Amino acid sequence: MALLRGKESYLLLVTTLMLSVIGIIFVYSAGTYWSAIHYSGKMPFYMKQSVYFVVAIIVFLITIRLNILREQSFWKMAYIFSLILLVLVLIPGIGLVRNGSQSWIGIGPLTIQPAELTKITVIVYLSHILAQHKTGAPVVNWRHGLVLLIPVVLIMLQPDFGSVFILVVAVFLLFFVAGYPLKLYAMIMLGGIAGLAGLIATAPYRLKRIEAFLDPWADPLVSGFQAVQSLMAIGPAGIFGHGFGQSRQKFLYLPEPQNDFIYAIILEEVGLIGGLVILALFVLTIYAGYRFAVQAKNRTSYYAIIGLVTMLMVQAFLNIAVVIGLVPVTGVTLPFISYGGTSLVTMWLIIGIIYQLAK
């Protein structure tokens, strides 16, 4: 199979490579001090991220050659497997707890986050199901909702609201493209608001996050700490920033700056200009991805690529919105850039699936 086919192929590959390399560079800048203090004697974050990048590229190169990824039977099994992982991660002794969420499974020195795999399997499996309905026949089916609901419940038990939000938004857009009526979305929104109120009532820490979002300075040392430190990184940086490597907030002020809040460090060091470059690369990536969808040869590929690209888009802009204070804090990584093997490999797996489905 020829890897590069047209302008969109070049554009998608170049932008994602650029984002990944930028990620390694800023993981080096943002995480070196934190790594030296908290993980003395272990491999620095940027070295690990470089290894993850190599693994991610290998996964991408394998994925684009796996024709089985076109088969509904494969995605049905992958969907079931991802549900099994979501159950296993909830079992004490198997699931690992980090930052209050039991979202990881440890396999020797490696850790995986089942929710990341689940988002992919739900979208592609649903795309196969949606593509089966005949033109003119009602597309709404309770089975579609069940395929989404089961993993959403399991992921919320971890809890991981960020992953649920990304998955639900991507699937809802998928339903819209497939022909779901607009009036149904009004009912879903009402149900979503009721569900959100229930989640807040059962977990008061979520209410604290909303309060911290509305006024982070009311409790700057506890609930509003991350938001305040992020804004303190961004505010003084100006148009050009303090210069690469010159971040102040990475010196144990902003917790784990190489992860969810790496965009704050980028803005602090290279300013508004650097931040806009990152945004432009994401916009180009999303544009190229949707162009792949438009040129897809069948409805399954069309739906799946739209869903996967939307998932990537929502995650990127949700992370950025958190960092600049537009939405409450959620534990969502910045695609291709934030530190972490699961995140980086998953992103390149998505790109590989898009190339494979676009054949």
Full pLDDT tens readout for the chain, 359 residues: 444 456 777 899 999 999 999 999 999 999 888 888 877 767 789 999 999 999 999 999 999 999 999 999 999 999 999 999 999 999 988 888 877 788 888 776 678 889 999 999 999 999 999 998 766 555 778 888 899 999 999 998 888 888 999 999 999 999 988 888 877 777 777 776 776 667 666 666 667 777 777 778 877 777 788 888 998 999 888 899 999 989 999 988 888 899 999 999 999 999 999 999 999 999 999 999 999 999 888 999 999 999 999 999 999 999 999 999 888 888 899 999 999 888 999 999 999 999 999 88
Determine the residue type at 84.
I
Q: Is residue 300 part of a domain?
A: yes
Range of the domain at 196: 40-357
Q: Is residue 341 part of a domain?
A: yes
In this prediction, residue 109 carries a pLDDT of 67
Q: Is residue 31 part of a domain?
A: no
Q: Is residue 22 part of a domain?
A: no
Number of H helices, E strands in the chain: 12, 3
CB 78 within 8 A of CB 125: yes
Q: Is residue 81 part of a domain?
A: yes
CB 315 within 8 A of CB 332: yes
In this prediction, residue 2 carries a pLDDT of 44
Q: How many CB atoms lie within 10 A of CB 196?
A: 13
> 75 vs 107, 139, 151, CA distance in Å?
23, 20, 15
The candidate with the shortest Cα–Cα distance to 174, out of 273, 66, 310, 316, is 310
In this prediction, residue 81 carries a pLDDT of 96
Q: Is residue 12 part of a domain?
A: no
Q: Is residue 10 part of a domain?
A: no
Q: Cβ contacts of residue 61 below 8 Å, gap of 6+?
A: 352
Query: CA-CA distance, 97 to 29, in Å (whole number)?
Result: 27
148 CB-side CA count, 13 A: 23
- The total number of structural domains in the chain stands at 1
Q: Is residue 15 part of a domain?
A: no
